[in-house]
Amino acid sequence: MGYYKINNVNLFISDWGVGRPILFIHGFPFDHTIWNRTSNILQNDFRVIVPDLRGLGKSELPDDWNITPMEQFADDLHILLGTLGIVEKAVICGLSMGGYIVMQYARKYRNELAGLVLCNTKTIPDSPVIADNRRKQAAGLTSGTLALRSVADTMIPKLFSEATLSNKPEVVQELRTVIESNQPIGVAAAALGMAERLDTTELLGELEIPVLVICGSEDQFSPPSEMKPLAEKAKHGTFIEIPDAGHLPPLEQPEHFAAELKRWMETVC
């Protein structure tokens, strides 16, 4: 656990365990801690690498920031794995925005991957309305007219399953703390990057590596009805649905999520 200078910014990294490396990529506007429950389970069997993306969590954002494209995040992570001395092919797992980054990583560095995991994410670009809302959000965060507390208030009711909202208040509060503790300018830069991303759906059909598509049964952002076709699009795709979970299965159902991921890795990777 510590900082690494990657592409002229200091990235905060957690690096645990031994074995096949798994790189976990958090979503928006979160940090590496959303993977803690899952990582604690998997570190006994795999090398678990969990960074804060540039501008988020404890990682830096350049002073001259403007926008952080999904490709920039992917390039950072590619250099990070080399910096950590990882020569074995890794599995990369991205949740939500992390999935957008996974697809950019696979587009550029697919020959260095053992497999990829798309968790509660999309491969299509934002609609014009959603992209415009992201730009407005970024403008509010950079000007100070929008607080991360308001972002949390808007997002949290939609992020979790009913079971989590009713029975796991500590999980809900944990995520609220993560969102509100983040860096407004880093969140803004990532929002702008998401608004500019392109469609990567066709890439799934080109990949020769195993692809796991996994999502919560109650996800309002990337429901099973939209995610299952991604597994069908992939040449070597597998689809898994996690019950009693919304957009954040690694937080809501970490034991189930970790067990499914471990089983898939041991079977196909």
Q: Tell me if 117 sits within 8 A of 94, measured CB to CB.
A: yes
Looking at residue 62, its pLDDT comes to 86
Angle (deg, nearest 10), helices 128-143 and 148-159? 140
Q: What does the chain come to in residues?
A: 269
Looking at residue 1, its pLDDT comes to 82
Tens-place pLDDT, residues 9-41? 999 999 999 999 999 999 999 999 999 999 999
Looking at residue 26, its pLDDT comes to 98
Q: How many CB atoms neighbour CB 114 within 10 A?
A: 17
How much helix, strand and coil, in percent to the nearest 5, is found in the chain? 50, 20, 35
Fold of 2-268: Rossmann fold (3.40.50)
Tens-place pLDDT, residues 54-67? 999 999 998 888 89
Rounded Cα gap, residues 163 and 119, in angstroms:
19
Report the chain (269 residues): mean pLDDT per 10 consecutive residues.
94 95 98 97 96 97 90 98 94 98 97 97 97 98 97 97 97 98 97 97 97 97 97 97 98 98 91
Looking at residue 90, its pLDDT comes to 96
**CA-based nearest residue to 251, from 2, 32, 15:** 32
Scan for tokens 């990567």, then name that residue.
200
